[in-house]
Amino acid sequence: MRTALVLGAGMVGIGAALHLQKRGFSVVVVDRRPPGEETSHGNAGIIQSEAVEPYAMPRDVPSLAKVALGLTNDVHYKLSAMPDHAEPIARYWWNSEAHRHSAISEAYASLIAHAAPEHDLLIREAGAEALIRRDGYLALHRRPAGFEEGIAEARRIGEHYGIPHRILDAPAVRALEPALVGPIAGAVHWTDPWTVSDPGGLVKAYAALFTRNGGTLRIGDALSLKPARSGWSVATADGPIEAEIAVVALGPWSPDVLKPLGYTFSMLRMRGYHRHYVGGATLARSFYDEDWGYVLAPMARGLRITTGAEFTGRDAPATPVQLARAEAAARDLLDLGNSVDPDPWFGERPVLAGMLPMIGAAPNHPGLWFDFGHGHQGFTLGPVSGRLLAEMIAGEAPGVDPQPFHP
């Protein structure tokens, strides 16, 4: 039986482990924490089928000025940290040019198209249906002008990629979500995405499926990864483990593991925050506030606010400026209730300057494979990127063209 190490117990790592297991590999997943307790826990809990295009940085001066002057809540930055982000931001901005972004989006959409079906298989096998809602989410607009822009963009996406949606005026939004009593111009209802009441819980359910099928979870130090006689070795709390192949699926920590092997990456580590609220209004589905750049999602622990991107120092203390603004904005729309978290959660998202995740073989080390850089969509893309990776490792014909994602 062939053997594999998967470094990373988030959605991406567990997705890769399950698909390798399905192809006859004996798999050990190694992480410093149990499954689903990092970024895979802290997201908005949406399995997105409509997110067919990576976010493109604005290229016009007025939009860039709004970001620079802190006039938008989508992005927040600490000036002292920006020199460390300058190079990947410049590359990301270059890739945001229309022709480059269009080509990148076609590749991205080919992966997203398989995301929900791959999740569906694992949800059923893991017995995790109780965590899933299949009625989409709302992209909410407060201003009429913004709503008109949102309608035009939704129609473009719908026509080009075949993504279903509904346009709702303010009365229709309130009929769907009576708790929303504040200023609303309308919403785009993306009907195909699924929402998850406990994102970390879904990863744990997939991990439980993995162990039921004979997989092994170990607490260990991914930084100890090194070539070994039989392939690759990593240190764990139960001693060193060796395997023929090693998969690095550690999200924003992947470059740390790979740097000693001579690999460097142009990656943005974008910080996001969340907080839960109880005792207020009830929502049937999640919504994204287009004017204030946050998602409000009904979760098992209460209503969860998740923020946009913060550029800060790697080990900098929490600066939840966006979260405070998002909370105030949400209270304009509904009775939010009271926070149940003494401190906000925060974590990092691995955004490669090329906008696409790296899925494939390491260029210079046989038996070493990459599966990281999924940006804001690791929770959505974990199972499908795991399948693509496992197909390549097993020598099968891949279901998605792997070339755009090649390291």
In the predicted structure, residue 71 carries a pLDDT above the cut 90: no
Which of left, alpha, beta for 251 (phi over 0: left; psi -120 to 50: alpha)? left
pLDDT in tens, 287-296: 999 999 999 9
Length of the chain: 407
- Within 10 angstroms of residue 152's Cβ, the number of other Cβ atoms is 10
- Whether 347 and 208 map to the same domain: the answer is no
**Same-domain pairing of 108 and 247:** yes
Whether residues 366 and 333 fall in one domain:
no
Same-domain pairing of 326 and 384: no
Contacts of residue 18, Cβ cutoff 8 Å, sequence gap at least 6:
122, 206, 209, 210, 213, 215, 383, 386
- Burial label for 272, CB within 10 Å (0-12, 13-18, 19+), is buried
- 398 with 273, same domain: the answer is no
Q: Taking the model in full, what pTM does it have?
A: 0.96
Taking only the tens place, the pLDDT of each residue in 123-175 is: 999 999 999 999 999 999 999 999 999 999 999 999 999 999 999 999 999 99
CB 347 within 8 Å of CB 39: yes
Coil/strand/helix, residue 346 = strand
Contact 367, 244 (CB under 8 A): yes
Percent share of the chain, pLDDT over 70: 100
Q: Is residue 370 part of a domain?
A: yes
Residue 62 predicted with pLDDT over 90: no
CB contact at 8 A, 295 and 306? yes
Domain enclosing residue 70, as ranges = 63-77+267-352
Same domain, 1 and 44: yes
How many structural domains compose the chain? 2
